[in-house]
Chain A
Amino acid sequence: MIRIAAVGDVHVDKDVLGRYRPALEQLPGVADALLIAGDLTRHGTVDEAKCMAREFGDLGVPVVVVLGNHDHQSDQQAEVSRVLADSGLTVLEGEGTVLELNGHRLGIAGAKGFGGGFAGACASKFGEREMKDFVGTTEAVAERLGAALRGLECDALVALTHYSPVPETLVGEPLEIYPFLGSYLLGQAIDSAPTSLALHGHAHHGTERGRTPGGVPVRNVAHPVIKQAYNVYQLLSDQVDAELVPA
């Protein structure tokens, strides 16, 4: 059995320091790892990354994150990633990692992702250079995510993105902005591997549960959606244990 805690869109800055900490300090008793689905900061500054590292560092469980669009706002995403990595967090962008947990190997492939929309209303790589770049960016990100997922040898495989791979978990958001919230290309990448679970954030007004066309469970763990410090998901379990009893 592996238990994964997950949250996204925590948008940490000085004013948030300490808010998550009481719940995070319970983590070693209730989960084996924490995955964070992007938008770690408000504006993607180094100072905010230091706040993020302080709030979500030294938890006693591995912490694996992807960046979100907010973490790109100041064009300091490389520095932000470095600050987080120096604090012991694993930052994924088009790559994967394997954690040894309870005798099982948990594979996690992560990427921020990008937009473009979903079948029936998706953007195409056609016309203006800006439009081709927009769709081309998502294609490249999805390709790297798919390759990372397919390249991991593990017992349970999790895809971690900021943008959504499916429209179901966007329900509640205005239909008009779906193309800015995710892309079917991410879903296709997730379905190209034996993925057990896909986690994303970004859609604050979205819905928690969905599935890819290939049947992979998708969970929108944006903080305003789950309305608690993190959710806990159990993989490779022999029996359902709905009560969250600390070990």
Chain B
Amino acid sequence: MTPQLDEYVEAQIQRLLTESGAVAEQGITVQRREHLLVLGGEVESAQRRDEICRQITTSFPDVEIACDIGIVRAAAPTEVEEIS
């Protein structure tokens, strides 16, 4: 059974995502549901998103996660803003 997720687990995961050399992401949101951790935010590649999930699953094998992390679009703009 998935353990109750508390603030300490949330804080540990937040720090893991920043301080882990393989991740180094400060822009990932971590929301606690009753027995589920929802990850949000955007990263630069699918590999980075997958590595975030892998790191959490490895360090917290009992924590169930839902990954809503997106990949930031990198298309050219179609508009210009005039600054005045």
Given contacts A204-B42, A241-B80, contact A229 B24 (CB under 8 A): no
Q: Which residues of A contact B81 (CB under 8 A)?
A: 231-234
A73 touches B (CB below 8 Å): yes
Given contacts A205-B27, A224-B27, contact A15 B47 (CB under 8 A): yes
CA distance A70 to B82 in the complex (A): 31
Chain A contact residue count (CB 8 A cutoff): 39
CA distance A233 to B82 in the complex (A): 6
B44 touches A (CB below 8 Å): yes
B3 touches A (CB below 8 Å): no
Given contacts A23-B74, A229-B74, contact A205 B41 (CB under 8 A): yes
Give the interface residue-count category, chain B.
20 to 34
Q: Which residues of A contact B26 (CB under 8 A)?
A: 204
Contact A243 B76 (CB under 8 A): no
Contact A11 B44 (CB under 8 A): yes
Q: Which residues of A contact B83 (CB under 8 A)?
A: 196-197, 217, 233-235
CA distance A190 to B26 in the complex (A): 26
Q: Which residues of A contact B42 (CB under 8 A)?
A: 204, 224
Contact B77 A244 (CB under 8 A): yes
State which residues 201-247 of A face B: CB under 8 Å.
204-205, 217, 223-224, 227-235, 237, 240-244
Q: List 6 A-B contacts (CB under 8 A).
A: A15-B45, A15-B48, A16-B44, A20-B74, A233-B80, A242-B80
For the complex with contacts A224-B72, A234-B81, A244-B78, 19 further pairs of A-B residues with Cβ separation under 8 Å are A3-B80, A11-B44, A15-B44, A19-B45, A23-B76, A23-B77, A26-B76, A30-B77, A30-B80, A43-B24, A197-B83, A204-B26, A224-B41, A228-B75, A230-B76, A231-B81, A233-B80, A244-B77, A244-B79
Question: Could you list which residues of chain B lie within 8 angstroms of chain A, going by C-beta atoms?
Answer: 21, 24, 26-27, 29, 41-42, 44-45, 47-48, 72-84
